[in-house]
Structure 1
Amino acid sequence: MSFRTFQLSLYHLRPWLTLIVIVWLLGSLGLGWLVNSLLIIFGLLLLAPIVAFFGFRWWLQRNLVSDRCPVCEYEFTGLNQTQLQCPNCGEALLVQQGRFQRFTPEGTIDVTAVEVPAKSLED
């Protein structure tokens, strides 16, 4: 290994060596708390997005509900404990306990219409 090759390999380590020397100097001057707090902030900045990603995935798995509309049988997705409208028929629905339920105000009477064939008087 020649001197020139050794010099080039040190060139790539130069920023890291500079950082180590600065940290050592700050520590020797009694500013170790500054180095520690910067390392903690840097660690939090790296860990916060990872924890947020996995936390959001966990929350979605617990609260995302995929079910069929009780009126038109159209399958879609909603969030648990929310009120929404069916995108197919427009029926107001309430998501409770992992199921879609019709949302009707109190006192509403649900009526099912039955088609009655017309008879003529001559029969």
Structure 2
Amino acid sequence: MRLNSSLQFTLGNIARWLAIFAVIWLLGAVGLGWLVNSFLILFGLLLLAPVIAFVGFRWWLARNLIQDKCPVCRYEFTGLNKTQLQCPSCGEPLKVEQGHFHRLTPPGTIEVQAVEVKSQQVED
């Protein structure tokens, strides 16, 4: 009758188990605290990095996203601070500075605003 056992104690199996035990004993003698701590720190950073990135992006977006009206057509839209863009309504090139949209004009151009004056009839 033949015994069919999954654990056979041969010289090769015993040597393999002794080698594994020796490596574990050697690592235990050296100290594995630093290895476990580094894995826990790495795991914690992997969990916290997306949260910190999301909060940082929201903070940056709140500081740099500007909502204002176009100085030409008064169309209200959103742009990023310190960038150049075009008004989606009239196509005027604009520059975002100090939280407001400004027309992008060549140097030396004087901005003039027209004022409507009501006419009056003067009797002689």
Instruction: State the TM-score, normalized to the length of structure 1.
Output: 0.65
Note the 1:63-78 alignment, pairs <5 A: 63-78=64-79
Cα shift at 1:50: 0.3
In structure 1, C-alpha distance between the alignment counterparts of 2:50 and 2:26, rounded to whole Å: 29
In structure 1, C-alpha distance between the alignment counterparts of 2:86 and 2:26, rounded to whole Å: 61
Query: 1:99/1:112 Cα in 2 relative to 1: closer, same or farther (>3 Å)?
Result: closer
In structure 1, C-alpha distance between the alignment counterparts of 2:58 and 2:86, rounded to whole Å: 24
CA RMSD of aligned residues (A): 2.6
2:84 — aligned with what? Answer: 83
Cα shift at 1:52: 0.5
Say which one has the larger Rg.
2
Question: 1:22-43: per-residue Cα shift (whole Å, max 9, x none)?
Answer: xxx8983412211111111100
In structure 2, C-alpha distance between the alignment counterparts of 1:41 and 1:87, rounded to whole Å: 46
1:51 — aligned with what? Answer: 52
2:107 — aligned with what? Answer: 106
2:37 — aligned with what? Answer: 36
Instruction: State the TM-score, normalized to the length of structure 2.
Output: 0.64
Moved over 2 A (4+): 25-29, 107-113
In structure 2, C-alpha distance between the alignment counterparts of 1:92 and 1:79, rounded to whole Å: 14
Local SS of the residue matching 1:67: strand
Query: 1:56/1:26 Cα in 2 relative to 1: closer, same or farther (>3 Å)?
Result: farther
Cα shift at 1:73: 0.7
Q: Percent identity?
A: 72
Where structure 2 has 5 or more consecutive residues not aligned to the other structure, the ranges are 1-24, 115-124
In structure 1, C-alpha distance between the alignment counterparts of 2:80 and 2:71, rounded to whole Å: 16
2:62 — aligned with what? Answer: 61
Q: Higher helix proportion, which one?
A: 1
Amino acid at match of 2:105: T
Where structure 1 has 5 or more consecutive residues not aligned to the other structure, the ranges are 1-24, 114-123
